[in-house]
Amino acid sequence: MELFASLVPYGLEWLNLLVRWLHVITGIAWIGASFYFVWLDNSIRPPAPGSDLAKKGVSGELWAVHGGGFYNPQKYLVAPAELPKELHWFKWEAYSTWLSGIALLTIAYYFNAQAMMIDKSVADITSWQAVGIGIGTLVVGWTVYDLLCRSPLGKHDFWFGVVIFALIVAAAFGLTHVLSGRAAYIHVGALIGTIMVGNVLMLIIPGQRKMVEAMSAGRMPDPVHGQKAKQRSVHNNYFTLPVLFIMISNHYAMTYRHDHAWLVLAMIMAAGVFIRHFFNLRHKGRVEWRYPAIGVVLLATVAVAIAPSRPAPVTGAAVAAPQAAAAQFAQVKAVIDHRCVACHAAQPKQPGFAAAPAGIMLEHEAEIRQNAEKIYKQTVQLKAMPLANLTQMTDAERAQIAAWYQAGAQ
């Protein structure tokens, strides 16, 4: 029984690895296809009036060279005169990315909600409440987005974009006030990913099926289906850079552990949108440097705003008198033993962890001294550790670590 209990977290760790790998692979395929087709739409040029291509109903074409071959993609205004025998669909990239992402969310967060989703200094909630908030965010988010798309607002691209961005930021604000910063960020990313796959599943693919069905029945397809699919495809294109940042954000506690983490996320997402807009315009032949400049300014502003400040020298009870190095280290080791070693050990005792996070073990004096800078940065400067402050490290204990490190980590 004891062996089984020890193998469960190890098995989950392997499942986490394999699903994460799959998620990255399928995500590359989906986002790569999105980038390519938006580039293609923006780069094709209309054929000469009266040419054979124009008579065939081709609205644009381009020539490209890649991998030692020449390619000549063509786009029809509505549809070709005859339905091709073989028609390639781009859908499984999206479905596989979302399914693997939800599986990863479940394995990494929902199966270990107490450690990964709850920060009692933010909100004292149960694991089931945290999971319910996460799932509810995805359902409500997609529903609101889809209804707005179908409303009169959906006909005004700029204002629709402003409203959707504001709602996503509002979701980030709300989530950072009930979940740990890391879980809040990942659920904003899951929300955006759900909207993206919902666009593919609920509108883009069904619209394409209706066009194919019309051609199979000998009717001219209704162009409205293509127009709606194009609109949702463009939305997905602008979502890509924000969601890619969120996918890697869990490595950067300086963002999600900030007191205004929702605002940090909003500014980084906005930078991604402006940079993406620059490339979309560039593919159309318009180079407007103001958009990437705005993106860079936003990123620089965030970098300056969240830069850690050196803690003030510790005074008072923590260092009432100069301490001998050995005594000072003994205090720090006691804090680490009590607050950190449950996870950072050769055999972690904290449920849900099969191995020490990032391979950092802090059971012995040599390990603590070797990782002194990381300990100081993560526990004092960023307050990213303990994860979601699961072991309730106090400010006084962080001050002891700061005093030890500032004294040379002797």
Residue scoring higher pLDDT (198 or 112): 198
Q: What pLDDT score was predicted for residue 317? A: 45
**pLDDT score of 404 more than 90:** no
Question: In which region does residue 328 sit, left (phi positive, over 0), alpha (psi from -120 to 50) or beta (all else)?
Answer: alpha
Comparing CA positions, the residue from 230, 186, 168, 193 lying closest to residue 97 is: 193
- pLDDT number for residue 219: 83
Give, as one character, the DSSP assignment of residue 45.
Answer: B
pLDDT digits (tens, 9 = 90+) for 191-207: 999 999 999 999 999 98
Sign, CA dihedral 120-126-131-133, equals negative
Total residues found in the chain within this entry? 410
pLDDT of 392 reads 82
Q: How far apart are CA 74 and CA 53, in angstroms?
A: 9
pLDDT at 6: 54
At 153, list the tokens: 């607002």
> What is the per-residue pLDDT for 314?
53
**Structure-token pair, residue 173:** 């604000």
279-312 pLDDT, tens per residue?
999 988 899 999 999 999 999 999 999 887 655 5
Residue 144: predicted pLDDT: 97
The SS3 call for residue 74 is: strand
Burial 370-396 (b: 16+ CB within 10 A, else e): ebbeebbbbbbbbbbbbbbbbbebeee
pLDDT at 1: 47
Look at residue 351 in the predicted model and tell me its pLDDT.
73
Q: Are 169 and 163 in contact (CB under 8 A)?
A: no
Which residue type sits at 164?
A: I
Task: Burial-class residue 186 by CB neighbours within 10 Å (0-12, 13-18, 19+).
Answer: buried
pLDDT over threshold 50, residue 320: no
For the chain, percent of residues with pLDDT exceeding 90: 43
pLDDT tens profile 2-47: 444 455 667 878 888 899 999 999 999 999 998 898 888 888 888 8
Burial of 255 (0-12, 13-18, 19+ CB in 10 A): buried
Choice between 24 and 218, residue whose per-residue pLDDT is larger: 24
Chain segment 118-132, per-residue pLDDT in tens: 888 889 999 999 999
DSSP at 294 = H
Q: Which H helix or E strand runs over 71?
A: strand 69-71
Q: Which two tokens stand for residue 35?
A: 């980038």
Distances (CA, A) of 88 to 85, 212, 228: 10, 12, 20
Cβ pair 188, 172 in contact under 8 A = yes
Which H or E run contains 283?
A: helix 261-283
Residue with tokens 């100069």, as numbered in its chain: 322
**pLDDT value of position 298:** 96
Q: Is the peptide bond before 386 cis (omega within 30 degrees of 0)?
A: yes
Please give the distance of CA 324 from its chain centroid, rounded to a whole number.
46
Q: List % helix, strand, coil for the chain (3-state, nearest 5).
A: 65, 5, 30
pLDDT digits (tens, 9 = 90+) for 360-378: 888 888 888 888 888 888 8
Q: State the Cα–Cα distance between residues 158 and 152, nearest whole angstrom.
A: 13
Identify the DSSP state of 317: G
Looking at residue 246, what is its pLDDT?
Answer: 95
Q: What are the sequence ranges of the domains in the chain? A: 2-78+89-305, 316-406
